[in-house]
Amino acid sequence: MNEHVLIIGLGLIGGSLAKSLQRHKEVHIAGYDADPMTQRKAYKMGIIHSAPPTLESAARDADVIVFATPVGATLKLMEQSRFWELKEEVILTDTGSTKLRIMEAANLLDKPFIGGHPMAGSHKSGVEAAKDLLFENAFYILTPSKKANEEAVAKLKSLLSVTKAKIEVLPAEQHDYLTAIVSHFPHLIAASLVHQLEKEEKENPFVRQLAAGGFRDTTRIASSNPEMWRDITTQNNNMIIHQLDNWMNEMNQLKHLLEANEPDSIQQYFKQAKDVRDELPIAVSGALYSVFDLHIDVPDVPGIISELTGYLAEESISIVNIRILETREDVFGILVISFQTAEDRERAKQCFDRRTSYDSYIS
């Protein structure tokens, strides 16, 4: 094998990256994790080609080093890398959700560092959940440091091309600003809606039952790892506060609109939101972890779920989740099946259209 890649941190992202990079037959994937059990498991599962005993020995052979660790841990590893014996042309990169602090530290290193953020995730975590298809159609943002020339960026792009991600190069500050808008800030809103529900529940216990439908879907991201979101929020604090200020201004304008209680203006507000939302692309993954839902109008009869999942099994279509919506206001169907990719969802829709009389909808 001609090129050595070291992936430090063998969780969902690191493990999935290792699996997808194995499509390069000439690349050797070494993996290191602070948890020896995780490292051994990744090796036994074939996710990595080798499990070096020490980080320093692995780094010595690497042409590319990927820090697939939380941002705080990555910053510490970057500092340690100053004392590693590295190849002259080695490229350092990471997979963190925020980039500004990483790149500030990267510009102090004497090696080229290209920040990376694969905008993909899963409802599962850990190396056991690693999937070589995780990054397909997802955006993968690169933020080169001052010492990373065009040749280094091109080399990393070529390495990552087998992930089938949509690779874009952005300045670190722009990356953090954009992800604050479409990822970090929406998580705060979802969390605040859940907090509001909890407060209302004290006076109206039945509200939790009503939340089983659209409210649960709207606030899905509030179930994400609290420690991870603590770190993201503190690291991108200024950008998120700026978005919060903008949102509070928007809420004040909406409040004035409601106080005026003019039907045409209120309808126009919702229409404009609908038009913008309907024009959002659905073929690629964005900054938030995406599942691809298919809503199906089915009768409430015994055996209906096994019938539909049977059709999917026959056509080798995998599902992420399946649920029945008891509260049906503002949703298309009583049954919602979630898929990992838009392609799987489309195949499922075509399958149901061919084999059943039930209407299925992509929302």
In this model, does residue 266 exceed pLDDT 90?
yes
Same domain, 49 and 133: yes
Give the lowest-confidence range in 35-44, 208-217, 233-242, 301-310. Answer: 208-217
| Residue 317 within any structural domain of the chain | yes
Mean pLDDT in residue range 47-67: 94
Same domain, 70 and 88: yes
Strands 292-296 and 360-361 turn out to be antiparallel
In this model, does residue 254 exceed pLDDT 70?
yes
Rounded to whole angstroms, how far apart are CA atoms 56 and 60?
A: 6
Same domain, 152 and 241: no
Note the pLDDT of residue 328. 46
Same domain, 162 and 182: no
Residue ending a domain, choose from 144, 170, 196: 170
Note the pLDDT of residue 331. 45
Same domain, 71 and 194: no
Question: What pLDDT digit, counting tens, does each position of 284-306 carry?
Answer: 555 555 668 888 887 767 888 88
Same domain, 148 and 50: yes
Q: Are 71 and 117 spatial neighbours (Cβ–Cβ below 8 Å)?
A: no
Question: What pLDDT digit, counting tens, does each position of 84-96 carry?
Answer: 999 999 999 999 9
| Residue 268 within any structural domain of the chain | no
Same domain, 217 and 315: no
Same domain, 92 and 158: yes
pLDDT band at 39 (very low <50, low <70, confident <90, very high): very high
Instruction: Assign residue 207 the CATH number of its domain.
Output: 1.10.3660.10
Give the lowest-confidence range in 4-8, 148-152, 185-189, 298-302. Answer: 298-302
Question: What pLDDT digit, counting tens, does each position of 216-225 carry?
Answer: 778 878 887 7
In this model, does residue 120 exceed pLDDT 90?
no
User: Which phi-psi region, left, alpha or beta, contains residue 243 (left: φ > 0; alpha: ψ -120 to 50)?
Assistant: alpha
Residue ending a domain, choose from 137, 152, 170: 170
Q: Give the structural domain span for 112.
A: 3-170
| Residue 270 within any structural domain of the chain | no
| Residue 112 within any structural domain of the chain | yes
Note the pLDDT of residue 283. 53
Rounded to whole angstroms, how far apart are CA atoms 199 and 205?
A: 10
- Domains contained in the chain, number: 3
Tokens standing for residue 53: 């005993």
| Residue 99 within any structural domain of the chain | yes
Residue ending a domain, choose from 170, 189, 215: 170
Report the predicted TM-score, pTM, of the whole model to 2 decimal places. Answer: 0.75
Same domain, 226 and 350: no
Same domain, 143 and 30: yes
Tokens standing for residue 313: 């099994």
| Residue 106 within any structural domain of the chain | yes
Average pLDDT, the chain: 88
Percent of the chain with pLDDT over 70: 93
Mean pLDDT in residue range 344-351: 91
